[in-house]
Structure 1
Amino acid sequence: MGYQVLAQAAVAAHFLFLAYLLVGGFLAWPARWRWTVLVHVPVVGWGIAIVTVGQTCPLTVLENWARVRAGQQGLARGFVDTYLTGVIYPAQYLGEVRLLIGLVVLASWAGVAVRWTRTPRMGVF
């Protein structure tokens, strides 16, 4: 039972990670949340590494390990390939989805730059 809970927690953490990757830059728009961009930049970097280099995500490793310990099969593919591609969006649009995510991240960072240049500095930055 405990390993099954751990596997499900890894799935939830994956979804939260991807949600933060997508919209985390917008959190840095208010002046008091500027510091969150320091967290968002490495998250985006990790996402790019996963896509371009094929880096294995530690959350996928954790989920597979917990599933095997719980007597289940591990994932045959990565998290995105298992839970999103072909489920949330058609597999043939994977490139377009990645481009859209990149554009949303760039738009959020552009908004950060605009807001930071127009907002008086307070504290961290």
Structure 2
Amino acid sequence: MNCPCGSGTAFSHCCQPYHLKVKVAPTAEALMRSRYSAFVVADAAYLYETTHISKRKEHSKSAYLNSAKNTKWLKLEIFFLDFDVVEFKAYYLNKKFQTEILHEKSNFRLEDGQWYYVDGEFYL
């Protein structure tokens, strides 16, 4: 299976090693891609664990699981990269089977060699 993040690489060689804790995402972009893939495969534990501890009260495992299971993700596009900021568009189907776009500029933080999602600014 190709990785959902759109890298063109097999999931088992791309984002899955991060989900299985075999490897740590080396960049904010790699974490962003692996989190998108985690939404696609409904890996709520990974989403929760890669959310910065200061923000985990706002993002429970059950909320992540509910979001992942109730969304049909289609494609990820990365637009802007900085050391700790990633702008992306994630395409998904709504309940009427129409394509919608989640456009966000996400902020990440590197602590003790591990990247974490902090928050994001949504664009309309």
TM-score normalized with structure 2 length: 0.24
* Structure with greater strand share of residues: 2
* Structure with greater helix share of residues: 1
Larger Rg: 1
